[in-house]
Amino acid sequence: MRVAALARTLALTLCCAAAMAAPPPAATPAATAPAAAAHYTLDAAHSSLEFTFLQAGARNTGRFPRFTVALDCQGADPLRLEVTVDVAALDTGDKDRDDTLRSDDLFAVKKFPQATFSATHITRTAGGYDAVGGLTIRGVMRETHVPFTFRAANEGGATVGYMTGKTVVRRLDFGVGQGDWQATDQVADEVTVAFKLRLTAAH
């Protein structure tokens, strides 16, 4: 009986010692809250959309004064970009040239008054972001890359975003140049489109 009691005491002592030596259970990691989503729209008064082209060897710049932008972000990362441009409102500072650009041989604005860009695939790059989507001009859609930078800021308690970038478009890919305007000796095929945008967020 004494041996049995001693054995039970020894076993209990060993169990207690093992329990004291065992590491405490690992804490369950706290769930990470998802990054806040934000929807940005254009602050037209503080934004610009310009295009630059070569005509007879001279560099010319025009602008699109009327356009809309919608940008969806998850946290700091843009996810979706939608742009609609009122092509008929183009302005190069020369009425005769503007009328020519609006004509059926070029933008054909009576039939195609708007151009659009829709991107749902946006990736990070070394310099910022790259938006890949469909650019539609004159009813012709082509996949287009638009590199850009984006940063969000708090101004007076409101969230705003600043977006800048540029891309090169070949006008003939979209049929912007019929008849004599298909030639590139007077008007180059490549057109550079540049933008500086201020966006306002509505969470």
Confidence of residue 12 (pLDDT cuts 50, 70, 90): very low
4 within a domain of the structure (yes/no): no
3 within a domain of the structure (yes/no): no
Lowest model confidence (mean pLDDT) among 10-19, 31-40, 179-188: 10-19
Q: Which domain holds residue 157?
A: 37-202
- Asked if the model's pLDDT at residue 19 lies above 70, the reply is no
The CATH number of the domain where 124 resides is what?
Answer: 2.40.128.110
**pLDDT tens-digit map of 107-143:** 999 999 999 999 989 999 999 999 999 999 999 999 9
Q: Which of 63, 76, 83 is nearest to 133 (CA)?
A: 83
For residue 4, which phi and psi values (nearest 5 degrees)?
-65, -45
29 within a domain of the structure (yes/no): no
93 within a domain of the structure (yes/no): yes
Distance from CA of residue 59 to its chain's centroid? 28
Contact (Cβ atoms closer than 8 angstroms) between residue 78 and residue 38:
no
The pTM for the full model equals 0.81
The count of structural domains within the chain is 1
133 within a domain of the structure (yes/no): yes
The stretch 43-72 carries a mean pLDDT of 97
22 within a domain of the structure (yes/no): no
How confident is the model at residue 25, as a pLDDT? Answer: 56
How confident is the model at residue 16, as a pLDDT? Answer: 46
99 within a domain of the structure (yes/no): yes
48, amino acid identity: S
Please, which residues have CB within 8 angstroms of residue 68's CB and are 6 or more apart in sequence? 41, 42, 82, 83, 84
- Asked if the model's pLDDT at residue 146 lies above 90, the reply is yes
In the structure encoding, which two tokens stand for residue 26, read together? 């690992």
How confident is the model at residue 32, as a pLDDT? Answer: 53
**pLDDT tens-digit map of 174-184:** 999 999 999 99
How confident is the model at residue 193, as a pLDDT? Answer: 98
In the structure encoding, which two tokens stand for residue 116, read together? 């659009």
Per the prediction, the chain carries an average pLDDT of 88
